[in-house]
Structure 1
């Protein structure tokens, strides 16, 4: 049952009982149009050739992805979660965009604040306004809520050095704040984040300035030369239990963070196979870790991924299975496709 006394935005972690959420829509999704250097730094090498300007995904793929998102939204509603959806049928080809299916990349809730990403990729510059502007307007009617929209100066097209030089492991420079909100994971008053090919130090500092008082960002040391988003690297299933991708991060690196000092840290024990149909154009098969936890007891997993579901169940979780392979194909899974607006918790972390 929805608690209407709660603010329209109130969330501090990834596992407290989920009360309200945004679920994306694919629309007329396209391969992201970004500079070649950005694509090569982040996308699977065998699919880089697909990333061409104004190239839509196959319509059959999108139709199936849209059906999966609708099913997912209905499933969450059946579990008692209030669901917000963006408008249907957005033609991202017309605006040289990508999709509205992955709102986690562009919005992050922290306490009663909702922060919009300063995307590194210009094809995503107007994604939040186009797909989620109406929802943000509705949420902003709650006087207890602060919504921090992206400022115009962060639209500067200056992140690639003209001479092709790089002063860091990342393809983008530090000339203006850049970040995807999917590069951050909330653990109460501590937020773990990573630097990546879409998130720079100026972006981290921008997020820190935007946080409510008492919240802090700590940067996790991740071994991922193609880093872009942290939510297939670590997955807190409940308070005190975290699953991590041992190909990208070590237990030693995790334990450097006091917030995880007493946690049970479990390496994901499988090497997932790349699916053949539909293919993963934009991600690795480790999307198995990109799950949505409903309340520290229940977690949503892809319907065909039985080995992961059985393993999560061995850790004491109840798995709710949902078909999502076609959403996976266009760039993400359950965590990517959602923004949790309200989790019913009192911060004590």
Structure 2
């Protein structure tokens, strides 16, 4: 089918589901710690080292990967089992599923003139691509290890391009230490002990603050896109996006709804209905959305998550299971470990498809993060007026 995806809820026809094959470690360097800063401390209190930022890991030291933290093989095996379950659930609903190229085990690192970092698989495929109608937009990554991740989706993108899809790539950042806007973390606190933020290490490739931005910072609503902005990196990218989409889509900025992604804060389940983390989140949304029905899920139970050891790095908040995936305006994929959320959605007349997803807090994503919908039946409708 031709690429066509304007919103989060129209009947789903085709989707990409990420891959975790050969996922072996997390790499604690500046870009990683910046991206996950709010969760690494709050959810890893037993860790003894001073947390943020790891400025001792300068560019010249990254090649040795001093911050590498191995992931236990059994977690990856179970994640792959759960990904297979997501694929099976979607196929049972007559959705065509595409998969990216797996990372070859011989590919140990990605390298640019400015740095190197261990490669990670294309798991959270929502992040580095934004689908807007008939266009693929590859976004400038925020984590160095994911710099070339969209290359592993290229065969899928190329097929859509041959069928007429537009295909754009936003400007790629150098991602030196000086590229990152630190004002967000200077103005807020992650809690716990924090290393003072000093001057970053200079690089011959410094160009100042650069565009860095994920597709998961966007809530797509027909011809309207709500974009979360928390740093100057995000704002620069949003400026580009507004110019690029001018006349086709309207951009609505919200500020610091979260540190980056929006899809564990708010998701549109159908026209007129939002799933929101809290009423406080709802109050930060654009005025037309504040009149929509709001589903605020029950408080998450600690029993919903596996128990981990001190050396297991937790990367997401307990609200990760709000990261659901709509198959159509009445049908939603939800983690089977969340009976309270399932009951709340059923109370609002949704058909819930429970699917297993155990280690979402270790791998930074839920069902919405792990997927990228490429064909839905909807169009450029005006839902905000």
TM-score normalized by structure 2? 0.78
Match of 2:321 in 1: 288
Structure 1 counterpart SS, 2:216:
helix
Give the conservation status (yes or no) of the 8 Å contact 2:133–2:379. Answer: no
The partner residue of 1:133 within 131, 150, 154 is 154
Match of 2:144 in 1: 122
Query: Any idea what the Cα deviations from partners look like across 1:242-272, whole Å, max 9, x if unmatched?
Result: 121117x443322x333x2541123333244
Give the conservation status (yes or no) of the 8 Å contact 2:224–2:252. Answer: yes
Match of 1:343 in 2: 376
Match of 2:10 in 1: 16
The partner residue of 2:163 within 142, 145, 153 is 142
Unaligned runs of 5+ in 1: none
Match of 1:232 in 2: 264
2: CA distance, partners of 1:292 / 1:306: 16
Structure 2 counterpart SS, 1:22:
strand
Alignment of 1:9-158 (within 5 A): 9-29=3-23, 30-35=25-30, 38=34, 41-45=37-41, 46-47=43-44, 53-88=67-102, 90-91=104-105, 93-95=108-110, 96-129=118-151, 131-143=152-164, 145-152=165-172, 154-157=173-176, 158=178
Distance 1:318 1:94, change over 3 A: same
Structure 1 counterpart SS, 2:307:
coil
Distance 1:53 1:250, change over 3 A: closer
Distance 1:39 1:111, change over 3 A: closer
Alignment of 1:142-221 (within 5 A): 142-143=163-164, 145-152=165-172, 154-157=173-176, 158-160=178-180, 169=187, 175-196=209-230, 200-211=234-245, 213-221=247-255
TM-score normalized by structure 1? 0.85
Stretch deviating more after TM superposition (165-174 or 214-223): 165-174
Q: Please state how far the C-alpha of 1:141 moved relative to its aligned partner.
A: 1.1
Structure 2 counterpart SS, 1:311:
helix
Structure 2 counterpart SS, 1:251:
helix
Distance 1:176 1:323, change over 3 A: same
Distance 1:242 1:281, change over 3 A: same
1:277 corresponds to 2:307: yes
1: CA distance, partners of 2:373 / 2:307: 30
Give the conservation status (yes or no) of the 8 Å contact 1:297–1:318. Answer: yes
Match of 1:298 in 2: 331
Q: Please state how far the C-alpha of 1:178 moved relative to its aligned partner.
A: 0.9
Stretch deviating more after TM superposition (213-222 or 272-281): 272-281
Query: Any idea what the Cα deviations from partners look like across 1:37-56, whole Å, max 9, x if unmatched?
Result: 51563433043769963433
Stretch deviating more after TM superposition (206-215 or 168-177): 168-177
CA RMSD of aligned residues (A): 2.9
Q: Please state how far the C-alpha of 1:165 moved relative to its aligned partner.
A: 6.9
Match of 2:192 in 1: none
